[in-house]
Amino acid sequence: MVQLICNRGVCMNSIYSYTKDELVEYFNNIGEKKFKADIVYDWLYKKRVNSFDLMTNLNKNVISNLKKDMIINGIEIVKTDKGTDVEKYLFKLSDDERIEAVVMYHDYGTSLCISTEVGCNMGCAFCESGRLKKRRNLNADEMVLQVLEIEKDIKQRISHIVLMGIGEPFDNYDNVLKFIKIVNDNKGIDIGARHITVSTCGIIPKIKEFTNEKLQVNLAISLHAPNNELRSKLMPINKVYPLKDLMEVLKEYIKVTNRRLTFEYIMLDNINDSEECAKELCELLRGINCYVNLIPYNETNNIGFKRSKSVKIDKFYDILKKNSIAVTVRREFGGLVSAACGQLRSHE
Ligand code: SAH
């Protein structure tokens, strides 16, 4: 099902919400050959035109059908903030809602952190993005357009996408999956599955579904605590999907997909950064094909948590290393322009 975009009472499908298969189906339904879907993808994503009239190798009949059934829409960049190696974008959507996305320049390429929802309902205690409750899902086109508008603005291609902006991707599963299929299509934006990372706080039924998609996309789990008691305090979702059950489905994910999991672990001063926590984490992850990304907490004005002292982060890191757990400390991006993890927002 393709979703409608409504603006001032007029509702249309965004062409950017169509996966290639859906576009093929569309052309089938209007009695046209399916290769036209490839042609349209080429115009939209390789040549980047924003008008059906410019698709000169399609006949008039096809163009008038497309115009009748779909629109080529956009989302508006209302503000950008530049830092070193990082740039944050504030977008206005067609219904005036706002979201943010962040570009990061690495030595291995340019990655884009995109939002998946307006606000977020997960209520993690430490996260700025979740202070605004979810107002709505983003449609697939609104995720695709974050990529297109930013590539146009920076005049270069994005090589990696992380779904780690505002929102919980698995709370908007269908649109997120469509988005992945659209940006991954080799006739379109063509970002390799292994260059796409979805991050979730642990919505078990959707992790199971995701497992069965058998995609080569990377999965990251926001863990942040090595036991139920602490995790439930930090992340209310843990009361619904407790750690033990989560670990079960993750083991199944690894077994079925044969892929390595990433665990994100924010370092919060005196909350989850003790040696005991590190040891408990080693126990929890023993024998699991994964690596742990320790994230120095980015403080925000509105939330009381503090960042762990660097000696504590070092100690924590060492304990994991000694226990043969692959671990990195996340390079910091965007702190000064509030573009860092957990600092993105849909609100003033
Ligand atoms: N909802 C998804 C996607 C958001 S990803 C998820 O939970 O995975 C954003 C990542 O940044 C998550 O791991 C989140 O827990 C983390 N994060 C949130 N607030 C943060 C902060 N202030 N500093 C550092 N990381 C933070």
Catalytic positions: 100, 341
How many other CB atoms sit within 10 Å of the CB of residue 312? Answer: 17
- Phi, psi torsion values for 287, nearest 5 degrees: 80, 0
d(CA 328, CA 317): 8
Residue nearest to atom 3 of ligand 1 (CA): 164
Q: Is the pLDDT at 133 greater than 90, yes or no?
A: yes
> Residues 306-348: pLDDT tens digits?
999 999 999 999 999 999 999 999 877 666 667 677 777 776 6
Identify the residues whose C-beta falls under 6 Å from ligand 1. Answer: 122, 124, 126-127, 164, 168, 199-201, 222, 264, 266, 295, 297-298, 300, 341-343
Question: Could you tell me which residues are beta bridge partners of residue 327?
Answer: 292
What average pLDDT does this structure show over 78-92? 93
What is the bridge-based pairing of β-strands 160-163 and 117-118?
Answer: unpaired
**SS3 of 246, please?**
helix
Of 99, 114, 138, 201, best ligand 1 pocket probe by most atoms within 8 Å of the beta carbon: 201
Q: What is residue 130's predicted lDDT score, i.e. its pLDDT?
A: 81
Q: What is residue 102's predicted lDDT score, i.e. its pLDDT?
A: 95
> Residues 172-217: pLDDT tens digits?
999 999 999 999 999 999 999 999 999 999 999 999 999 999 899 9
- Phi, psi torsion values for 11, nearest 5 degrees: -115, 130
143 is written with which tokens?
């995720």
Overall size of the chain counted in residues: 348
Atom of ligand 1 nearest to the CA of 342: 19
Residues 6+ apart with CB under 8 A from 24: 34, 37
> Residues 254-311: pLDDT tens digits?
999 999 999 999 999 999 999 999 999 999 999 999 999 999 998 888 889 999 999 9
Q: Tell me, what amino acid is at 28?
A: N
Residue nearest to atom 15 of ligand 1 (CA): 222
323 CA from centroid of ligand 1 (Å) = 25
Q: What is residue 155's predicted lDDT score, i.e. its pLDDT?
A: 97
Angle between helices 275-285 and 310-322 (to 10 degrees): 30
Atom of ligand 1 nearest to the CA of 220: 8
Q: Are 254 and 261 in contact (CB under 8 A)?
A: yes
- Output the CA angle 193-195-197, nearest 5 degrees: 85
d(CA 261, CA 195): 14
Residues 6+ apart with CB under 8 A from 125: 233, 234, 235, 303, 305
The sign of the dihedral angle between the CA atoms of 125, 129, 134, 137 is negative
> Residues 22-67: pLDDT tens digits?
999 999 999 999 999 999 999 999 999 999 999 999 999 999 999 9
Of 219, 159, 155, 154, nearest in space to 189 by CA: 159
Helix or strand (DSSP H, E) at 92? strand 86-92
Residue nearest to atom 25 of ligand 1 (CA): 341
Q: What is residue 212's predicted lDDT score, i.e. its pLDDT?
A: 96
Tell me how far CA of residue 337 lies from CA of 79, 116, 344, in angstroms.
Answer: 12, 21, 10
